[in-house]
Amino acid sequence: MQLEDKTIIITGASSGIGEAAARLFASHGARLVIGARRRERLEAVAADIGKAGGRAVVVDGDVAEEAFAARLVETALSEFGGLDGAFNNAGTTGEPGPVAQMDPANWRSVLAVNLDSAFFAARHQIPAVRKPGGSIVFTSSFVGHTIGLPGMGAYAAAKAGIIGLTQVLAAEHGPEGVRVNALLPGGTMTEMAGHDADFHAFVRGLHALKRMATPEEIAAAAMFLLSDQSSFVTGTALLADGGNSISKS
């Protein structure tokens, strides 16, 4: 029960890695505030968690809006009396394409959902977790960190920005006992990955393990960063990428 008696926020919890994290964290004793835009999907996840003996409270909204970040924290405080950690996982790739031809609206949207949301999360979560053992995790990416993937300029810029923000937050709040880390998944079989078999084969080939991750595998890495098992880990960009970053074959 790695997260027993911990209250944790998860964004992007209606599907993919976020949903897998919600189910895994609940099974390890966490009390959850789960957020995403699709309320019906969130309620289905929360219902399943409840049937299994856990507890998850639903807050629907858009991570690009600061008011949503505030509501997530307020709900954790009102429902569970505090906040111990957060997995800020929601994100988007936007419309891929060369930077020189990219619509500025697409650029702004990708940065809003991925990077502005991290800023808003930190503004509201840090005061609530400001205590020894507090842990905040942001989902970043190997894109923009270990490789430059053509067509992914906005996504790469946003995800690289998350790593820089993570490092500063870890330095600012380490003396208070708060840990802040970024998790960098490799290719993962989620809705965002689509259903194109040829594309999946291509992505598998980029990884040293020659496969894509399951959402549960990435959720397990997030749980490590949120649990006391990672008590001396902060300011990191933790790769859970199946060897993507080191594979050239």
pTM of the model: 0.94
Q: List the one residue out of 9, 31, 34 whose CA is nearest residue 87.
A: 9
Check residue 70 and give its pLDDT.
Answer: 98
Residue 168 within a domain: yes
pLDDT at 196 over 90: no
CATH number at residue 120: 3.40.50.720
Check residue 41 and give its pLDDT.
Answer: 96
In the chain, what percentage of residues exceed pLDDT 70?
98
**Across residues 40-67, what is the average pLDDT?**
97
Residue 61 within a domain: yes
pLDDT at 195 over 80: no
Task: Note down the domain range covering 63.
Answer: 7-246
pLDDT at 63 over 70: yes
- Catalytically active residues, by annotation: 155
Q: What's the mean per-residue pLDDT of the chain?
A: 94
**Across residues 13-17, what is the average pLDDT?**
94
Angle CA(37)–CA(221)–CA(57) in degrees, nearest 5? 35
For residue 90, the one-letter residue type is: A
Q: List the one residue out of 18, 16, 25, 11 whose CA is nearest residue 226.
A: 25
Check residue 193 and give its pLDDT.
Answer: 62
In this predicted model, what pLDDT tens digit does every residue of 118-160 receive, in sequence order?
999 999 999 999 888 899 999 999 999 998 889 999 999 999 9
What total of structural domains would you count in the chain?
Answer: 1
Residue 31 within a domain: yes
Q: Which residues of 188-219 are buried (b: 16+ CB within 10 A; e: fewer)?
A: bebeeeeeeeeebeebeebbeeeebbebebbb
Residue 1 within a domain: no
Going by pLDDT thresholds of 50, 70 and 90, the confidence category of residue 20 is very high
Residue 140 within a domain: yes
**Residue entry with tokens 């929601």:** 90
Going by pLDDT thresholds of 50, 70 and 90, the confidence category of residue 194 is low
pLDDT at 56 over 70: yes
pLDDT at 76 over 70: yes
Check residue 68 and give its pLDDT.
Answer: 98
CA dist 112 → 94, 156, 160, 211, 238 (Å): 11, 13, 14, 31, 23
